[in-house]
Amino acid sequence: MNKNPETEIKFSDKFTEEDLKIRADFPLLNKYDMAYLDNAATSQKPECVLNEEKKFYEEYNANPLRGLYNLSEMATEKYESARVTVQKFINAASEREIIFTRNASESLNLLAYSLGDLLLNEGDEIAISIMEHHSNMLPWQHAAKRKGAVLKYIECDMQGNVTEEELESVITEKTKIVAFTQISNVFGRLNDMKRLAEICHRKGAVLVADGAQSVPHIPVDVRALDVDFLAFSGHKMFAPMGIGVLYGKEEYLEKMPPFLTGGEMIDSVTREGAVYAELPHKFEAGTVNAAGAAGLAEAIRYIEKIGFDKIEERENKLTAYALWEMGKISHVKVIGSEDPDEHHGIITFTVEGVHPHDVAYILSADNIAVRAGHHCAQPLMKHLGVMSTTRASFAFYNTMEEVDRFIESLKDLRRKMGYAE
């Protein structure tokens, strides 16, 4: 059923020269004898990123965008050049379209609030998929309540597949905003954003893409996809925690009201009100995370140095091997597609008769880190008819040897829980 990777994979090539070379870049991976398979939650950080963040504080630290002295200008320059690095990375038309936030959640909250204010009137509709992370669900539930709009759900099948008919029937002329994840954090499946954008635009809706799980793993070109907005987090793509991005088309950002107000985001303030700053600073109130932005820019340079070809090749190989081996273990059931290329390093599964928290705990006793629970997607879990699941997720720095460790532990798991196998 699963693609047989044994024809393509030489099993002798475990912990290859390449593995060692890549892993040498990541201090934490060399600190512990642990298979870190929770990359969809957050990635590890390469030394160059850590150094870049440190360097900001050692050599550039002043409040950016404020001071009129040299050091502040250097800080500003560092921060703004990080913005250009992000802009080029996702092929946005202008750096005015890149807003720095704390994370994908903040980007999506900003949108639900500000875009919601701009576009939504009573009776209008918002459409989101049932597979959305809570961060791309709750903000829209709130926006709908606040504006008297109706929130509709786009359903998927058990493999995470969404049909064209479903999209065409839920997205209508009444729909003002569609929010959809590019890669699901449960299925790992890639949703066709270009096709979705066509449908949305034909019906007069704006498309918000959640790129939290896609941007770290595949090339994302916002202009080729024609998405109107894209939200993602630095910490899932080898950058520090606390820096995230919201991309938005200028035509919308210009018209949207500010989200947070305060310092930095104004041109002038009177007792009665304010003239807001130009894009993108209109949406960046208060002192920004300039060191985090510098770290994100370095993470992007690191990704570009490794190359998405290499990243995808390694992640797909690990996923294919893991899926193939998991397919041989009875009582293990993988959620989502049988095709490894439809997983993007994410394997969500259940073990019959063993609660996911027990699964994660037993794996952890063998020094394997995975995630267990509802993965911030409770409505999806309910839709799939499971209470919770376990998820192993790979990054390109994981190895075949780590997959072996995971499989060995998984094989023995039911016996450890008292089942006579």
Site residues, ligand PLP (CB under 6 A): 103-105, 133, 135-136, 181, 185, 210, 212-213, 233, 235, 376
Helix-then-strand count for the chain, H and E: 16, 15
Beta strands in 217-363 (DSSP E): 229-233, 244-248, 266-269, 274-276, 332-335, 346-351
Pair 179, 132: CB distance under 8 Å: yes
Q: Taking the complex as a whole, how short is the minimal distance between the CB of residue 34 and other proteins, in angstroms?
A: 10
Contact 100, 139 (CB under 8 A): no
Q: Determine whether 376 is an active site residue.
A: yes
DSSP 47-73: HHHHHHHHHIIIII-S-TTT--SHHHH
Query: Considering CB distances under 5 to 8 angstroms, the limit depending on partner class, which of ligand PLP, other proteins, none binds residue 39?
Result: none
Q: Shortest Cβ distance from residue 249 to ligand PLP (Å)? A: 20
Q: Six-digit token pair at 67?
A: 């001071």
User: Residue type at 237?
Assistant: M
User: Which of ligand PLP, other proteins, none does residue 28 bind (CB under 5 to 8 Å by kind)?
Assistant: none
Among residues 48, 156, 200, 376, the one annotated as catalytic is 376
Rounded CA separation 234/225 (Å): 21
Interface mask toward other proteins for 166-195; x: CB under 8 A: ------------------------------
- What H or E segment, with its residue span, contains residue 351? strand 346-351
Closest separation in Å from C-beta 376 to other proteins: 13
Q: What dihedral do alpha carbons 257, 259, 264, 269 form, nearest 10°?
A: 50
Check if the beta carbon of residue 75 is closer than 8 Å to that of residue 62.
Answer: yes
Q: Which of 86, 82, 62 lies closest to 73, judged by CA? A: 62
Residue 135's binding partner out of ligand PLP, other proteins, none, with CB under 5 to 8 Å set by partner kind: ligand PLP
- Give the separation between CA 322 and CA 338, rounded to whole angstroms: 12
Q: Please choose, from the candidates 315, 349, 343, 356, the residue with its C-alpha nearest in 3D space to the C-alpha of residue 329.
A: 349
Q: Does 362 bind other proteins (CB under 8 A)?
A: yes
Residue 323 burial (CB count, 10 A)? 23
Interface pick for other proteins out of 367, 379, 404, 411 (rule CB under 8 A): 367
Residue 251 in the binding site for other proteins (CB under 8 A): no
Task: Please choose, out of 275-283, 288-296, 299-307, 364-372, the segment that lies near other proteins by the rule CB under 8 A.
Answer: 364-372
With CB under 5 to 8 Å by kind, the binding choice for 417 among ligand PLP, other proteins, none is other proteins
Residues of this chain, 27-66, that bind other proteins according to CB under 8 A: 33
CB of 383 to other proteins, least distance (A): 16
In the complex, the smallest distance separating the C-beta of residue 353 from other proteins, rounded to whole angstroms, is 8
Q: Which of 373, 383, 404, 411 binds other proteins (CB under 8 A)?
A: 373
Q: Using the rule CB under 8 A, is 419 a contact of other proteins?
A: yes
Amino acid at 388: S
Q: How far is the CB of 299 from ligand PLP (least distance, A)?
A: 14
Using CB under 8 A, list all residues that contact other proteins: 33, 353-358, 361-362, 365-367, 373-374, 387-388, 405, 416-419
Catalytic positions: 376
